[in-house]
Amino acid sequence: MKNINFFVLLAAFAAALSSCGTGTADHDDDDTVPSVKSLVLRASATVIEADGIDAVQLEVLADGVPVTEGVRLYDGLTNTPLELPSMTFTTTEPGNYYFWAAYGTKQTEMVQVRAVGFELPELPADPEPENTSFVKRVLLTQFTGTECGFCPGMIEILRSVLADEDYASRVIHTAAHTYKSTDPAYLEQRLDQAMGVSGYPTVVADMAYSYDNYLDEDGFRQMIDLAWSELPAKAGISVSTSLAGNQLVVMASVKAAETGMYSVGAWLLEDGIEGKQANYHPELWTGDYGIHDNCIRYADSRVTNIDYSGFSLGTVEAGQTSEYVFTIDLDEDWVADNCHVVVFVTVPDEKGRYYSVTNAVDVPLEGSYPFEYASSAE
């Protein structure tokens, strides 16, 4: 199994832009452009199909007001001027494309548009376009292993909590089998190191709070309550997925409740994996633990070896959306009918050093999930 990455194609970029009418922008009107405090370049989509038809509309906002006269658009890779008719970009070459704009003496931040060489699954319609009050779900990551003899204690706690609808409706459960490589659900990616896990069993909530007391269910519930109250939903998630052969395509849209930096990740999960579970206290933990669900097969959110917080979407303004496409090849040993995908969004802390999950959703391999609003869930 491998993840397909998209690389910047410099030659393709130049060829594609020439077909879209690149040229030299007019600088003569700089003196007539009024002074502005803020300048933003906005793209109608961050991902398009490289078919020459699918297009992204670029728009420049000066102090929040759209402007066209006096705007200069630039290639973000070469910093050379561009001229796109009606500020519309299309291409037939897959790759990453970068733009920035100038207006008078002000310049915008860079905007990235990704062009992909395959058909994108269509995102569901936004049921409430003006709404930014989203349903919040806490991402639980259970660090476990079939050879961990104390892990049945945490499994019992999870089963009890997830049987309680008040809690089950507020969480997304994932299981990282990182204890030993002999585990049939073993995950080679070291999420345990990324989240600072040193003992088993441990459950991490929203990549921010950890819990390792496998004898105390009340404390576990308190951790969920804490993550729920302290890390509210700053964004909503809409997802569509499609599976062609063994290639999974996940189209995710993130809608911001407040302006800020956002990142997005996708984890492929599999249910029904058989594996005998070690149990050091069968007199206490008397259940059947031989079937393992929600096992993370692949974490498509790796930034570094110790950072799986997801891929940056940059700054997303309140009420606006940003899209990201994931592609994952399913291993032949995985049962596609038992697989599903968790998509999550993270936000940085005030210092920009640590990321926590602000929302998460769970979607089947060939399905869709619209933005879910708090008003809709009441």
The answer to whether residues 170 and 120 touch, using CB atoms and an 8 Å cutoff, is no
Note the CATH number of domain 10-116.
Answer: 2.60.40.1080
- The confidence score (pLDDT) of residue 22 equals 31
191 contacts 179 by C-beta, under 8 angstroms: no
Return residue ranges of the chain for CATH 2.60.40.1080. 10-116
Query: For residues 204, 318, 327 and 302, what is the CA-based torsion angle, rounded to 10 degrees?
Result: -40
Q: At what angle do helices 217-230 and 151-162 cross, to 10 degrees?
A: 60
Q: In the chain, list all ranges with CATH 2.60.40.10.
A: 138-377
Helix or strand (DSSP H, E) at 276: none
Rounded Cα gap, residues 187 and 240, in angstroms:
25
pLDDT at 303: 86
pLDDT per position as a tens digit, 258-298: 999 999 999 999 999 999 999 999 999 999 999 999 999 99
Instruction: State the Cα–Cα distance between residues 54 and 96, nearest whole angstrom.
Output: 15
Checking if the pLDDT of 189 tops 50, the result is: yes
Cα–Cα distance, 15 to 11 (Å, whole number) = 6
Instruction: Give residues with Cβ within 8 angstroms of 90, minimum separation 6.
Output: 20, 48, 52, 53, 54, 55, 56
Contact indicator for 266, 341 with CB cutoff of 8 Å: yes
As a 3-state breakdown, the chain gives helix, strand, coil percent values, each rounded to 5, of 15, 40, 45
Residue 177, Cβ density class (10 Å: 0-12 exposed, 13-18 middle, ≥19 buried)? buried
Mean of pLDDT over the chain: 89
Q: What is the mean pLDDT of residues 317-324?
A: 93
* pLDDT tens digit sequence for 37-54: 889 898 888 788 899 999
Residues in Cβ contact with 79 at an 8 Å cutoff, skipping those fewer than 6 apart: none
The kind and range of the H/E element at 117 are none
Other Cβ atoms less than 10 A from the Cβ of 64: the count is: 10
Q: Which of 63-72, 133-142, 264-273 has the lowest average pLDDT?
A: 63-72
State how far the alpha carbon of 242 is from the alpha carbons of 102, 121, 257, 303, 316, in Å. Answer: 39, 6, 27, 24, 26
pLDDT of residue 244: 82
Is the CB of residue 180 less than 8 Å from the CB of residue 275?
no
Residue 86: closest CA among 131, 56, 53, 118? 56
What amino acid occupies position 220?
A: F
Is 114 in contact with 43 (CB distance < 8 Å)?
no
Query: What type of residue sits at position 313?
Result: L
pLDDT grade for 30, boundaries at 50, 70 and 90: low
pLDDT at residue 23, rounded to an integer: 33
The CATH fold assigned to 138-377 is Immunoglobulin-like (2.60.40)
Spatial separation of the C-alpha atoms in residues 317 and 256, rounded to whole Å: 6
**What would the pLDDT profile of 210-237 be if each residue is shown by its tens digit?**
999 999 999 999 999 999 999 889 999 9
Confidence of residue 174 (pLDDT cuts 50, 70, 90): very high
Confidence of residue 349 (pLDDT cuts 50, 70, 90): confident
Which of 11, 4, 5 has its CA nearest to residue 93? 11
Distance of CA 330 to the CA centre of its chain: 19
What's the CA dihedral at 208, 213, 214, 220 to 10 degrees?
-50
Most confidently predicted of 55-59, 142-146, 230-234, 373-377: 142-146
Element (H, E) at 174: strand 171-177
